[in-house]
Structures are given as structure tokens and as C-alpha cells.
Amino acid sequence: MSADTETIDRFVAQEYKWGFYTDIEADTLPPGLDEDVVRHISAKKNEPEWLLEWRLKAFRLWQTMEEPHWPQVKYDPIDYQAVSYYSAPGAKDKDRPKSLDEVDPKLLETYEKLGVPLHERARLAGVAVDAVFDSVSVGTTHKEELAKHGVIFCSFSEAVQEYPELIKKYLGSVVPYTDNFFATLNSAVFSDGSFVYIPKGVRCPLELSTYFRINAAETGQFERTLIIADEGSHVSYLEGCTAPMRDENQLHAAVVELVALGDAEIKYSTVQNWYPGDEDGNGGIYNFVTKRGICKGARSKICWTQVETGSAITWKYPSVILRGDDSVGEFYSVALANLAQQADTGTKMIHLGKNTRSTVISKGISAGKGQNSYRGLVQMGKNATNARNYTQCDSLLIGSRCGAHTFPYIEVKNPSAQVEHEATTSKIGEDQIFYCNARGIETQDAVNMIVNGFCKEVFRELPMEFAMEAQALMDVSLEGSVG
Amino acid sequence: MLEIKNLKAGVEGREILKGINLSINAGEVHAIMGPNGSGKSTLAQVLAGREAFEVAEGSVMYKGQDLLELAPEVRVREGLFLAFQYPVEIPGVNTTYFLRAAVNAVREHHGEAALNAVDFLKLMREKIELLQLDEALLKRSVNEGFSGGEKKRAEILQMALLDPTMAVLDETDSGLDIDALKVVAHGVNELKRADNAQLIITHYQRLLDYIVPDFVHVLSDGRIVKSGGKELALELEEKGYDWITNGELQTA
């Protein structure tokens, strides 16, 4: 056995430490998708008629749509009838827990094991967490403290019941149900997710965070997140995700909508660590996600930061529509494709207002047999006078079996707009590794050091608590990437 | 301390070192001189453990251990340090961070506690003063955008921090102006002790004006063809390498 295969074997044998399964009674719909399933999900959540109608419109449209195949990724056809579209922990006839005190201890244990303790004593200080387990939210921490500031942070299902007027006004306002194949599917069958509303002028006192966990087999997770930052408000939100190790692929098709009104700022960070599958491409999550924010008011700002280390396939383009004059969009991304992972990710910056500015910093790392593509659109509308974009797109290759690709699209309809694009590709060289070795540093540590240096610009955009975690995660995800 | 016996090594099947014999004791400074292509850098790389070079024959004992059996990172932790002829740039990796990782890797190997950032900075300041280096270098990425002289000085700083027992300096003088050469030589001399040794690899004699060797060896076509005291370097400077290589041809 060559040293190379040996290290990979070791990687597969021991890594992905989030790959455990929680054996818990669940209320799971049988696989398959038809109108009854959509109605069933809506009924489970006791939704108003208009929302059911919205879902059904989406479902009917979806049936006429074709799965997109333009991304630079390859996979076997997905059998949408083989997927279960709803799975909630707990017995069928039992009411959902009303507070964290009523939550099944097994669930609390699961989150504890994942490093996200929910119960009062051990909660993460300074961070409020909404924990989503398969199709439902199991609980949200720090709710009372947030309420004092008028901040709403709850599960999407709860928001539908408690704040229907906000949901009705904003649901689908950034990502309409007609948007694309996966967003339309999500609109039909979405089950839960997080809802955030920050009132006028409020600076949210805590970091808000949602932890997504896929547990049940043969289910898809279709969550929906909606964040509204009212005028002059400020919020920082972080999502994390993990799933058990399984041989079959699982589908995750989420939609995230962000709305920033005048002078508001939303910072949305993702540490995505879904199970990536093995080195032959068996198993892992298909992460087909639509994320978009709108800078609706003048001087508003939306910043996406993502660290994508997991998933077998990532298809994701967190975007910003810069409608308000002087609004700002930012996208900072680190995407890793190791093993047999494939990532096609980037952003869209749609400049509509005057003096709008956007920055795109994308760092793609390819290792193993990974394939990593950056795909980005910068669009300067005809009214986007003096709009500016700066894009920097760097690729780092480790080993000789991986690939990096860049697909930048630039459309400029206003002559005063400025667009800059810089791209580099580099390879971790044998000479760099040897130089580190000759200074006492082991090869794996050398690779981690070089990769972390490469990602630094993005990591420093993460909330402090998570920057360290992201770095550690990157180290673990790269283990065995060099022979 | 270092005992090289009949060392034969090469790259991609081509033999470059054709039987080197060399013995270095504690407290000694040895210089290896030789024309381009004589195998000087290959010897340095083989001692440091570069994989691309294959050892075909011979042995290298270092402090009673078989050096060739040790991984490159273990060699330096055991005190065998190579100052590179062409120090490698590592973009994005902060120099101070890199140096601390190196120092702590060595410390941990010897069962010593890792230095925290504050203690490390203190140690580094001490060495910088000793070597008269510009502290601003440490805020930049490893060797990135450094001038030739800055790179070589940074190598000597690394040597000072890692405090090797056997230091190999591979053409540390190449590309240096006379001022930089003096600074580097000063640093090397400051680090010399009775319990360590230095192997200076150089093409020119001028470094040896500032670092005075106890022994000079002439390397030609993969073999040490002449050894002597420091006066040998002067003789070489005067007569050129042809004197030796031709002489060898005549006796052969």
C-alpha cells in the first residue's frame, strides 16, 4: 500500500467526528413527494391557508421544472420520490415541546456532543442558538434576553404562528418561489428554519446562531431562514451544520433570505461541515442552497462569510442585491474540496443603486480528488452610477489529482461603474513543505499553516468565537491530504 | 559529532556525490569549497533529508545515530540545521508565527514546554539584537518579498533561535554585498561555541575572511579531493579551482 492510500485510509477511518447517529423515535413521512405530502407538512405546522396555497403553487411549478445541470459537478440522478420530506424527533401523537425543559434529553445530549450545549448551565455565552434537528427546530436559547431588546429569534414555524404579517410580507420577497429548481422545491416542502427580526435602531446584543443537524436516514433537509433588519439595526448571525456518516447521499436544499432596510447591517456567517462522503465519492450531503440578501434601503450592508469544508457537492451562491443607494455587499468565502468533494460556489453582486460597492474575496482549496469551482456574477445596472466592485479569487492546489476552475461573469450597463477582478492559482510546493520540515515542522502542520495563511483574509471576517473553530475544522478536514 | 563515510548519493539515477568522507567534531568549523556542480548543495540537501536525493551507499552518523534514518523534521529537532541557499517563500504565513512553531517543535521534542507568544517575543528580540536585524521583517510573510540579503539574515535568525549543535550553511554568502556578508558572518561567529560545530559551504573565499574555519575541504566532482587548514582557502583564491581539479586528473 502506498503512503498516499495509507493516509487517506486513516482519514476515512477516523475523521469526520460528527458522523454519529442519534437513535431517537421520530415522526417521519414515508418517502415520496406529491400534493398530499405538501398538505401534510403544512397541516403538521398548522399553517394558514395562504401559506399552503403558496406551497402548492411552488409544488405545481416545480413539477414542470428541470434540475439544472450547468454547475461544474457530476452526480447520479436524484430520485426525488425516494426521499422523505419530513422527519421530526418525538412520537407522532405527542405535542411539540414548548420550551427547552421539555425537550427529549437525547436531543440535548446530541447537541452537547456537537459542542453546542443548549441547556441553561452550559449555554454558549454571548450566543443565542436555534437548534434544528432534521425537519424541526428543537429549541432556541436566550429568548428572554433577546425579547427585552425587541429582537425576535425563533423557529420559522413559530414565526408563522406568532408573526404572520411579517412572514407574509417578506417570505419569498428576495428568493421568490419561482427562482430556481431547488428553491422552488424548498418553497413547496420547507419544514423549519430560523426567523429573525431586529427592530429599528437596535444593535442585537448577542450573536445569533442556528445549528442544523441532519440525523434521520433517507430524509432531505429543507430549511428556510428569513432575517429582517429594520432601519438602522445591526445583527450578526451564524449557521453551522453537520450530519451522520452514511453511504447514500442526502439532499439539503435550503433557502435563506436577508432583508436589510435603510442603514441596517446584516452579517451572515456559515461554517458548513456536512458529511463530505468518502474518497471514492460514496455518501455525503448534496448541498444545493439558495441564499440571497437585499440591501433594500440606502446605506445598508450585507456581508456573507462562508467556510465550506463539508458536503459531497456544494452548489451555492450567496448573493446581494444592492438596491439602496450607497449600499454595500461583501462576500468572503473559503471552500475546500478534498477527497472526492465537488464545490461550485461563488456569489452574485447585483448593483442597482448609485454608489453601491461590493467586495468579493474567494479562496478555493483543492486537495485529494476534489474539484473546486468559483462562479461569480458582478452586474452593474444602468442606474448604478459610480458603483464599484472588487473581486479577488485565489485557488490553492494540494497534490496533483485535484482541480480548480474559475468562472467569472461581469455585466456592466453603466459607464461610470468600476469592476476589478484579480485571480491567482498556486500550489503548495514540495519546496515549501521541505523548508518547513527543515525547521522542525511536520508535513501536516506545514500544510495546515500554509492553508490557514491562505484563508486568513476570510477567517478574520468570522465572529471571533468561530474563527478559531473554522481554523481547527480546516485542519481536520485536510488531514491526510498529503501523502 | 558528524561522521560521513563513503557517501554516494544522487538525483533521478544520476550520481552526484561519489564517496564523501568527512568527520566533524564539536567546537570545529569546517568549510567546503568547490566549483559549481561539484556536489556542494547536494551534500547539504542530503544532510537535511530532502527526499528527492537518493542515498545509494555509505553512512552518516550524527551524535551516535544513523542520520539517514531520521525524518527531516527530526534531524533539525536533534540539532542538525540547514541554512538554505535559496530560502523558500511561504505567502500568508507570518514570520513570527512560523518561527514560534519551529522553536516549539524543537522544544517539545526535548520535552520542554512550548513558549507562549510573550516569552517567544522576548527570546526573539534577544536574538535580533545579537544579529543586528530589522524587526520589521518579522511582521511579514515568511521570506515573501525579502531581498537576497534579508533572506539570508532571516536564515541566520532561525539558526540562532533553534540553537543547533550542527549547523550547515549552504552558500549563505551568495548574493550578499559586503555589509550583509559582515552581518551574517558576525551572527555565525556569535553562535559558535565549544559544544557545537559549523559546516560552511561556499564557492568563494571571501566569507572565510570573516568566518575563520579550522579545516577547509575542496569538493570536486562529488569527492573531497583536498583537505587542509585555513590557508588552503587562500591558496584556492589565488590559484583557482583548476589547480586542484587538474592536479587530481594528473595523479589519477
> pLDDT at residue A426 above 60?
yes
What single string gives the DSSP state of each residue in A262-329? TT-EEEEEEEE------TTS-SEEEEEEEEEEEE-STT-EEEEEEEE---SEEEE--EEEE-STT-EE
With an 8 Å Cβ cutoff, the interface of chain B facing chain A consists of: 48-52, 71-73, 75-77, 81-82, 84, 87-94, 97-98, 101-102, 105-106, 109, 141, 158, 162
Q: Which residues contact A23 (CB under 8 A, 6 or more apart)?
A: A106
Among residues B60, B76, B79, B65, which one has the least CA distance to residue B6? B60
The residues facing A407 across adjacent strands are A375
Among residues B201, B209, B214, which one has the least CA distance to residue B34? B201
Q: Is residue A483 part of a domain?
A: no
- The per-residue pLDDT for range A94-130, each reduced to its tens digit, is 556 667 777 777 777 777 777 767 765 556 666 677 7
Q: Could you tell me the pLDDT band of residue A418, with boundaries at 50, 70 and 90?
A: very high
When comparing pLDDT for B200 and B248, which is higher? B200
Chain B partners of A436 at a C-beta cutoff of 8 Å?
90, 98
- Residues B201, B43: contact at Cβ < 8 Å? yes
- Residues B59, B66: contact at Cβ < 8 Å? yes
When comparing pLDDT for A75 and A298, which is higher? A298
What the block records as the C-alpha cell of B157 is 535568525
Q: Is residue A347 part of a domain?
A: yes
Report the pLDDT value the prediction gives residue A2, as an integer from 0 to 100: 33
What single string gives the DSSP state of each residue in A333-400? EEEEE-TT-EEEEEEEEEE-STT-EEEEEEEEEE-TT-EEEEEEEEEE-TT-TT-EEEEEEEEEE-SS
Chain B's closest residue to A454, CA to CA, is: B92
Residues A361-368: what's their mean pLDDT? Answer: 91
Amino acid at position A232, single letter: G
Report the pLDDT value the prediction gives residue A124, as an integer from 0 to 100: 60
Chain B partners of A435 at a C-beta cutoff of 8 Å?
84, 87-88, 90
Report the pLDDT value the prediction gives residue B227, as an integer from 0 to 100: 93
Mutation site, B45, B50, B90, interface A, largest A CB count within 10 A: B90
- The per-residue pLDDT for range A226-253, each reduced to its tens digit, is 999 999 999 999 888 676 666 777 888 9
Report the pLDDT value the prediction gives residue A358, as an integer from 0 to 100: 98
Q: Could you tell me the pLDDT band of residue A163, with boundaries at 50, 70 and 90?
A: very high
Rounded-to-integer distance, Cα A319 and Cα A209, Å: 20
What single string gives the DSSP state of each residue in A48-68? -HHHHHHHHHHHHHHHT----
Report the pLDDT value the prediction gives residue B250, as an integer from 0 to 100: 41
Report the pLDDT value the prediction gives residue A368, as an integer from 0 to 100: 86
Gyration radius from chain B CA atoms = 18
Query: Which stretch, A6-10, A276-280, A332-336, has highest mean pLDDT?
Result: A332-336
> pLDDT at residue A5 above 70?
no
Pick the range with the lowest mean pLDDT from A88-92, A445-449, B103-107.
Answer: A88-92
The reply to whether residue B51 touches residue A442, judged by beta carbons under 8 angstroms, is no
Chain B partners of A483 at a C-beta cutoff of 8 Å?
none
Q: Could you tell me the pLDDT band of residue B47, with boundaries at 50, 70 and 90?
A: very high
Considering chain A, what is the average pLDDT of its residues? 85
Chain B partners of A440 at a C-beta cutoff of 8 Å?
73, 76-77, 102, 105-106, 109, 162
Chain B's closest residue to A434, CA to CA, is: B50
Q: pTM for the complete prediction?
A: 0.82
CA distance A433 to chain B (A): 9
Rounded-to-integer distance, Cα A466 and Cα B231, Å: 62
The residues facing A203 across adjacent strands are A234
Residues A203-220: what's their mean pLDDT? Answer: 80
Q: Which residues contact A460 (CB under 8 A, 6 or more apart)?
A: A467
The reply to whether residue B50 touches residue A429, judged by beta carbons under 8 angstroms, is no
Share above pLDDT 90 across residues of chain A, in percent, rounded to a whole number:
49
Q: Is residue A159 part of a domain?
A: yes
Closest Cβ–Cβ partner in B51, B77, B84 for A440: B77
Q: Could you tell me the pLDDT band of residue B249, with boundaries at 50, 70 and 90?
A: very low
Residues A316-344: what's their mean pLDDT? Answer: 93
Among residues B114, B147, B130, B220, which one has the least CA distance to residue B183? B130
When comparing pLDDT for A456 and B68, which is higher? B68
Cα angle B125-B131-B136, degrees, rounded to a multiple of 5: 55
Share above pLDDT 70 across residues of chain B, in percent, rounded to a whole number:
97
| Residue A101 CB coordination number (10 Å) | 9
Q: Could you tell me the pLDDT band of residue B235, with boundaries at 50, 70 and 90?
A: confident
Report the pLDDT value the prediction gives residue B120, as an integer from 0 to 100: 93
Domain that holds residue A80: 3-478
- The per-residue pLDDT for range A6-57, each reduced to its tens digit, is 333 333 333 666 667 777 777 788 889 999 999 999 998 999 999 999 999 9
| Residue A138 CB coordination number (10 Å) | 26
> pLDDT at residue B75 above 90?
yes
Instruction: Report the b/e string of A51-64 with b at 16+ CB within 10 A.
Output: bbebbbebbebbee
Q: What is the 3-state secondary structure (H, E, C) of chain B?
A: CEEEEEEEEEECCEEEEEEEEEEECCCCEEEEECCCCCCHHHHHHHHHCCCCEEEEEEEEEECCEEHHHCCHHHHHHCCEEEECCCCCCEEEEEHHHHHHHHHHHHHHHCCCCCCCHHHHHHHHHHHHHHHCCCHHHHHCEECCCCCHHHHHHHHHHHHHHHCCCEEEEECCCCCCCHHHHHHHHHHHHHHCCCCCEEEEEECCCHHHHCCCCCEEEEEECCEEEEEECCHHHHHHHHHCCHHHHHHHHHHC
What the block records as the C-alpha cell of A436 is 518547513
Architecture of the domain defined by B2-251: 3-Layer(aba) Sandwich (3.40)
Place of cell 480548480: A404
Rounded-to-integer distance, Cα A223 and Cα A183, Å: 10
Report the pLDDT value the prediction gives residue A399, as an integer from 0 to 100: 82
Maximum alpha-carbon separation in chain A = 69
Closest Cβ–Cβ partner in B76, B93, B109 for A438: B76
Pick the range with the lowest mean pLDDT from B48-62, B92-106, B174-188, B206-220.
Answer: B174-188
Q: Which residues contact A210 (CB under 8 A, 6 or more apart)?
A: A129, A130, A131, A132, A193, A194, A225, A237, A238, A239, A240
Report the pLDDT value the prediction gives residue A465, as an integer from 0 to 100: 65
With an 8 Å Cβ cutoff, the interface of chain A facing chain B consists of: 426, 429-432, 434-443, 445, 449-450, 452-454, 456
Q: Is residue A59 part of a domain?
A: yes
The reply to whether residue B90 touches residue A442, judged by beta carbons under 8 angstroms, is no
| Residue A386 CB coordination number (10 Å) | 16
- Residues B50, B72: contact at Cβ < 8 Å? yes
Domain ranges of chain B: 2-251
Domain count, chain A: 1
